[in-house]
C-alpha cells in the first residue's frame, strides 16, 4: 500500500497532476492525501468579509478551502470508485515547505506528486516556485507533472545519474516499485561531469549492475552535462514516458535543468520527472 501526497491549490495545473496520479496508480491499493496550504500573505479582503463576526481569520479561510478539498475528494472518489483508493483531506495554515514536511512525516508519505509550470522568475521557469522548493528542501521522492501533460502508459523509463556518484537513494524503493508496477523498460543514462565533449564507450560499473540487478536495462553514457536540451532530445529519441533523476548538489541541479544558456529554459521539461534524494 502506497501513501501518496497530492498538494493542490485547486488550479488546473494541480488538478492535472492529481488526474495523472489517479491513472498512474490504477489497480494499486493507495492512500491519497489531498493537501491544501494557506498562508496569511494570500488573504484578500473578500476572504475576510465572507466569514461571520464570530469567525477568526483562520476559520474564515479554512472553512472555504476545506469545503473545496471535500468537494474535490468527493469527485475523485466517484470517478475512481472501481479502484482501491482511500482519500484523506488535509488542510494546513503554514509556510508551504514546512507544511509539506509535516504532512510527509505524519502520514509516512512514500511519494509526492505535484504539477509544474512556468514561473515569472526566469531562474525558476521550469518549475513553479513551490514545486522547486519542495524538490530542494523536502527529503521525499517527488514526481513532477508538466502543465497540460496527459497520462500515457509507462513503457520506457529513463534513470539519469552522475558519474562516480554513490548509488544509494532514499527513494529507490518507490522507483523500483514503479518499474515493477508498470512492467516497463529501464534505460540508465550516466552523465560524466567533465569538460570533455567526445562520446565515451565506458561501460556501466558494478554499482549500477547491483542497484538494478533485478531489472533488465539499457545503458548509455555521456561525457558532459550539456543541459536540458540534450536530455529532452534523449527522452524523445527513446520515447521515454518517465524520467527519474538523483539530486545531491544544488550545482548539479542547476546545470542539469537550467544550464548556462538561458535559451535552454524555453524548452522546459517535456515529461514527468521523478526526483530521488541521495542518502547523506
Pairwise pLDDT comparison (129 vs 274), residue with the higher score: 274
User: Helices 250-257 and 129-137, interaxial angle, to 10°?
Assistant: 140
pLDDT tens for each residue of 45-72: 444 444 444 456 667 777 889 999 999 9
pLDDT range class, residue 128, cuts 50, 70, 90: low
How confident is the model at residue 26, as a pLDDT?
Answer: 97
How confident is the model at residue 2, as a pLDDT?
Answer: 93
End-to-end Cα separation, the chain, in angstroms: 27
How confident is the model at residue 217, as a pLDDT?
Answer: 94
Task: Of 171, 86, 98, give the one whose Cα is nearest residue 130.
Answer: 98
Question: What region, left, alpha or beta, does residue 259 occupy, with left being phi > 0 and alpha being psi -120 to 50 degrees?
Answer: left
Q: Is the pLDDT of residue 142 over 70?
A: yes
Q: What 8-state DSSP symbol labels residue 278?
A: B
Least confident of 69-73, 143-147, 164-168, 255-259: 255-259
User: Helices 228-237 and 250-257, interaxial angle, to 10°?
Assistant: 60
How confident is the model at residue 14, as a pLDDT?
Answer: 92
Strand order in the sheet with 30-38: 85-93, 30-38, 2-7, 111-116, 142-146, 273-277, 242-247, 156-162, 185-191, 217-222
Q: What 8-state DSSP symbol labels residue 262?
A: G
Take residue 193 and report the three cell numbers written for it: 561531469
Pairwise pLDDT comparison (131 vs 5), residue with the higher score: 5
Rounded-to-integer distance, Cα 266 and Cα 255, Å: 15
pLDDT tens for each residue of 70-123: 999 999 999 999 999 999 999 998 889 999 999 999 999 999 999 886 444 444
Rounded-to-integer distance, Cα 35 and Cα 106, Å: 13
Q: Is the pLDDT of residue 266 over 50?
A: no
Q: What is the pTM of this model?
A: 0.84
**Contact yes or no for 261/231 (Cβ under 8 A):** no
pLDDT tens for each residue of 216-258: 999 988 775 555 666 777 788 889 999 998 776 555 555 555 5
Amino acid at each position: 500500500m502506497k501513501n501518496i501526497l497530492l498538494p493542490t491549490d485547486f488550479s488546473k495545473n494541480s488538478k492535472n497532476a492529481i488526474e495523472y496520479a489517479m491513472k498512474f496508480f490504477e489497480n494499486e491499493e493507495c492512500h491519497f492525501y489531498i493537501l491544501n496550504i494557506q498562508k496569511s500573505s494570500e488573504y484578500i479582503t473578500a476572504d475576510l468579509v465572507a466569514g461571520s463576526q464570530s469567525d477568526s481569520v483562520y476559520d474564515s479561510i479554512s472553512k472555504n478551502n476545506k469545503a473545496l478539498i471535500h468537494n474535490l475528494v468527493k469527485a475523485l472518489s466517484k470517478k475512481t470508485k472501481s479502484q482501491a483508493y482511500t482519500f484523506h483531506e488535509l488542510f494546513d495554515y503554514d509556510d508551504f515547505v514546512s507544511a509539506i514536511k509535516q504532512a510527509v512525516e505524519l502520514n509516512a508519505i512514500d511519494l509526492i506528486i505535484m504539477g509544474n509550470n512556468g514561473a515569472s522568475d526566469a531562474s525558476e521557469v521550469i518549475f513553479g516556485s513551490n514545486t522547486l522548493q519542495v524538490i530542494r528542501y523536502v527529503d521525499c521522492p517527488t514526481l513532477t507533472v508538466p502543465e497540460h501533460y496527459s497520462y500515457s502508459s509507462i513503457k520506457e523509463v529513463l534513470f539519469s545519474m552522475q558519474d562516480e556518484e554513490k548509488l544509494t537513494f532514499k527513494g529507490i524503493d518507490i522507483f523500483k516499485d514503479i518499474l515493477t508496477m508498470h512492467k516497463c523498460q529501464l534505460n540508465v543514462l550516466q552523465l560524466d561531469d567533465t569538460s570533455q565533449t567526445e562520446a565515451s564507450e565506458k561501460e556501466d560499473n558494478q554499482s549500477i549492475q547491483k542497484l538494478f540487478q533485478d531489472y533488465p536495462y539499457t545503458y548509455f553514457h555521456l561525457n558532459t552535462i550539456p543541459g536540458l536540451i540534450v536530455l529532452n532530445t534523449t527522452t524523445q529519441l527513446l520515447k521515454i514516458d518517465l524520467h527519474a533523476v538523483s539530486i545531491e548538489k544544488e550545482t548539479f541541479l542547476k546545470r542539469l535543468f537550467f544550464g548556462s544558456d538561458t535559451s535552454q529554459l524555453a524548452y522546459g521539461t517535456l515529461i514527468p520527472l521523478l526526483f530521488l534524494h541521495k542518502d547523506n
